A and B are shown apart, each in its own frame.
Chain A
Amino acid sequence: MIEVVSLSKRFGATVALEDVSFQVAAGEVLGFLGPNGAGKTTAMRIITCYIPQDGGAVRVGGLDTAERSVEVRRKIGYLPESAPLYHDMGVREYLGFVGRVRRIEPPLLGQRLEEMIEICGLKRMQHRLIGTLSKGYRQRVGLAQTLIHDPEVLILDEPTSGLDPNQIAEIRDLIKRIGREKTIILSTHILPEVEATCSRVIIINEGRIVASGTPRELTSRSQGAPRVYLTVEGAAAADVEPALRESGLGQEVRLIEALDGRARFALGCEAADPEAQLFRLAVRQGWTLTELKRETVSLEQVFTRLTTRETAES
């Protein structure tokens, strides 16, 4: 649905994007991750035809953004960063304006307006001037504006910024719900959000893609061999340690502590799924396992590793 081919963009001496390529299939929810100034907003602005690129090409639904700009924009619903809106227009008035520009004709327009107000929870605010709304409600108006024409493609730049936790949960649900039929790109700094909403993630740093994949792929890839913590009762630590080594699960066995007949070990496993084997081993040896826990790498750790190493090198 969206094809980005070796996109580059610079602002004077700053390189905002450098040879960025990726694709988003219809129905996919793609998350853009990256530290401040990584180039997320710039990429979105190019895809939505707000600014032209210096090199490369973008196609949305097969149409080139440089050549068929108006048609591309018709397909897209775009929520810019911090949802800029006209302060001296009313909520309904503004949504009506966007609807008319989007060629929604009157009987349907009123219906869509009601739907948007309902979905985005704007009922109480619908007659207020936008300038008098709080940040979270403005964000909702912005979201209503992007959804009103039921676009095939949604580009959302930090859709949950400035919202309270309840609203964030609501918006995430909404994105998940509408994401089933639509192609979405969203950027965020909140990592659990990516895990909750995105089917695929791209991590950008200093204008380049440094990683991409499903959230699971990213975490498991950088995890390498799993590390397992286990605590054994009813056996001497001195007996357990060699037994673990001989089991062939992994050579890296480390005793963390031994107290009151309990021994806690860290085991660097070579096998991908060591838990089952460990259980069987414990049964054979007559140990009581009181803890068996796999160390997990969070997306957060992946993110930190990828974006700080790169920065340090350059």
Chain B
Amino acid sequence: MRNVLIIAGKEIRSYFNSTIAYIFMVVFLVLTALLFFELQKFFVIGQATLRDFFGLVPIVMLFFVPAISMRMWAEERKLGTLETLMTLPLRDGEVVLGKFLAGLAFLLITLALTFPLPVIVSALGNPDSGALFCGYLGLVLLGASYLAIGLWISSLTENQIVAFVTAAVACLILFIIGVDVFLTAVPSWLVPFLKGIALGSRFSSIERGVIDLRDIVYYLSIIGFFLFLNMRSVELRKGA
């Protein structure tokens, strides 16, 4: 665990030493706020709800999270630092987990900074701390799943742009197959299956305030599964 934290610390530090971290964060926050207020105009003042906010952020996160994860392995491979890193006395799993935690910390900080938006909305309407809590819980679980997927994809290439695009598309597909609009367009026998694996449908129900243990277990297993793949790919591709 100690090693995991050391790796996470190193990732976070080198992230904040480069301006890129701040740029991503600012772009994410500005984009979210702009889109949110656009929605509000669209619905006439005061009509946009918490629901709209929690519907919007997962979409913006589709781009934001792969942007965080894209460099995490790809850059190590590009610079050759993977060799120095993986010949330190660390287990593969510790390094993978450390990188994941660093990304998660960055995600949590950024999500925390969006907090004023829903608060403004609920102050105008009826403040509902339960809904806020559920919404953020859903966002964290969803974002962490995106992150695990993006991190794994980053370990497969040394090109950050490729990692970004692939991860964004992968997350988009996994998100969209659970959205109602999409589900009405596919054969009905597919629906339960798609709903089962989709990232989006579970999010909707958590965000609506239905915290089902199965949904949480689902997200945790998605995260675990992709972190496991990540360990395998690091192990196999170290020397390549």
Contacts and interface: CB of A to CB of B under 8 A. Distances in A.
Contacts, number: 70
A84 B88 contact: no
A123 interface: no
Contacts of A93: 13
Interface stretch (B45-53, B77-85, B165-173, B196-204): B77-85
Contacts of A76: 87
Interface size class of A (residues with CB under 8 A): 20 to 34
A82 B88 CA distance: 17
A49 B89 CA distance: 10
Interface in A24-73: 45, 48-52, 70-71, 73
A99 to B, nearest CB: 10
B204 to A, nearest CB: 38
Nearest to A89: B14
A105 to B, nearest CB: 11
Contact of B80 (A84, A98, A145): A84
B14 A86 contact: yes
Contacts of B6: 97, 100-101
B80 A82 contact: yes
Interface string B80-122: 1111101111110000000000000000000000000000000
B14 A102 contact: no
Nearest to B82: A84
A50 B238 contact: yes
A265 interface: no
A300 B13 CA distance: 47
B14 A88 contact: yes
A187 B138 CA distance: 54
Interface in B22-68: none
Given A50-B238, A97-B10, A78 B87 contact: yes
A253 interface: no
Nearest to B91: A70
B233 interface: no
